[in-house]
Structure formats: C-alpha cells, structure tokens
Amino acid sequence: MLSNGGYATVSTTVTEQIVASNRRAFHDYTILETVEAGIALKGAEVKSLRAAQVTLQDSFARVEDGELFLYHVQISPYPAAHEPIDPLRKRKLLLHRHQIRSLIGKVTQKSLTIVPLKIYFKRNIAKVELAVARGRQEYDKRATIRKREAAREIARATRIARGR
C-alpha cells in the first residue's frame, strides 16, 4: 500500500531544452499569436540540433499546397554524418490540418507573416514555436525602444528610492 492512499503519483512537469531562439523577431515584428509545431528532420540533423548548431536568423514559414514549410533555418551539418544534408533546405512542419487552415486564414486576410521564435526539445522531440506576426515600421521600433528605456529608468529610480 502506498502512503498516498494507494495511487502512484505521476509528475506532469515537461522540460524544454531550448536550442535556438530568434530574439530579432521580437524587435522586427509585433507578435499576435503563437503555435507549437513539430519539425520533420533527416538523419543527423537531430544531432546537430542537440549540439545547438542552428540559426533562425531571417527564417520564415510559408504554406504550400496545404502544408507548412520552414525556410532559411540553417542547421549545420553534423561532422560524423554519413550522407551530407543541405543546411538551408526547406523543412516540413507538422501541424493538424485545422491549425494550418487557421494560419492560412490569418496570413492571407490580414497580411501577416509566420516567423519561428524558438526551436526546442520537448520530451525528446524537436519542436518549433511559430508566431503569427505583423511587421513593424521603423518608427514603431523606435517607440518600443523608448518605452523599454523609460521602464528601466523608472525601475532604477524606484530601486534607488527604496535603498535609502
């Protein structure tokens, strides 16, 4: 008999090992919605991902023939791999059909784009977090930077005031 009344407890915590993140996307785009997708990888690409040899800079996702593909994600070739794989090839994203339809509707109607925010491992499966985003103009970027700096100044002033 177990001490908790006869039932074994199962831990439901899921650990995420973040491999790469696209911090530039938060500067260049206004993030409206995020969705998690699996990535179809070949051979030694998984080992390269585990070694964090991936770059998300200038990457984006596009819908083709009802399927979602990830472009310009550079996964460096694994040195001990037997067959070479193109590091910039397009990679298929694994989503449910209704999720793809929803993304298609948002991207076509509202002139939005799909950008990857991060690649990570969840329960030893490679995942990518995609964002439906709207591109920012230069003045929007400057306004965001101004707000962030003002918030830092306020936090710094309150910290100094509390310290005295």
CATH topology of domain 16-136: Small Protein B; Chain: A; (2.40.280)
- 10 Å CB burial of residue 160 (0-12, 13-18, 19+) is exposed
Query: In degrees rounded to 5, what are phi and psi of residue 47?
Result: -65, -35
Task: Spell out the domain ranges in the chain.
Answer: 16-136
Q: Do residues 131 and 70 lie in contact, with contact meaning Cβ atoms separated by under 8 Å?
A: no
Q: What is the arithmetic mean of pLDDT over 64-71?
A: 92
Mean pLDDT over the full length of the chain: 86
pLDDT given at position 44? 86
Residues 146-156, mean pLDDT to the nearest whole number: 91
CB neighbour list of residue 125: distance below 8 Å, 6 or more residues apart: 38
Q: Is-contact 95 37, C-beta < 8 A?
A: yes
Most confident listed range (7-11, 123-127, 134-138, 139-143): 123-127
21-43: per-residue pLDDT in tens? 998 888 888 899 999 999 999 88
Q: Which residue has the tokens 């193109």?
A: 86
pTM for the full model? Answer: 0.76
The reported pLDDT for the residue numbered 9 is 54
What is the per-residue pLDDT for 3? 52
